[in-house]
Each structure stands twice: as structure tokens, then as C-alpha cells.
């Protein structure tokens, strides 16, 4: 029984690590997207006024 729990714990820990990496990638992509949008918005505001 303890062995099964240990295997499950190892799998869960691996899943958490994998999802943490994905979260970091998504967060980085979102930050880059926001920066690009902000730059675009500033350029549009500059041209419009």
C-alpha cells in the first residue's frame, strides 16, 4: 500500500513540475503579447493625435 502511494506521489510531483513549466511559458508569452499590444496602442495613439 505504501509503495502505491509513493508511486502516485512521484507521478503527481512530476505532473506538478510539468504544469509549472507550462505555466511559466504561458506567463512569458502573455507578458510578450501585452508588451506588443502596449507598443501598438502607443503607436496608434501617437499617429491618431
pLDDT (tens digit per residue) in 16-46: 999 999 999 999 999 999 999 999 999 999 9
Tell how many helices (H) and how many strands (E) occur in the chain.
1, 0
What does pTM read for this prediction?
0.66
Whether pLDDT at 2 is above 70: no
Check residue 49 and give its pLDDT.
Answer: 73
CA distance 13 to 49: 53
* 2-to-7, 10, 11, 13 alpha-carbon distances in Å: 9, 12, 14, 16
Amino acid at each position: 500500500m505504501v509503495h502505491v502511494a509513493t508511486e502516485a506521489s512521484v507521478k503527481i510531483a512530476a505532473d506538478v513540475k510539468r504544469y509549472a513549466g507550462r505555466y511559466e511559458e504561458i506567463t512569458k508569452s502573455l507578458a510578450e503579447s501585452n508588451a506588443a499590444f502596449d507598443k501598438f496602442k502607443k503607436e496608434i495613439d501617437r499617429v491618431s493625435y
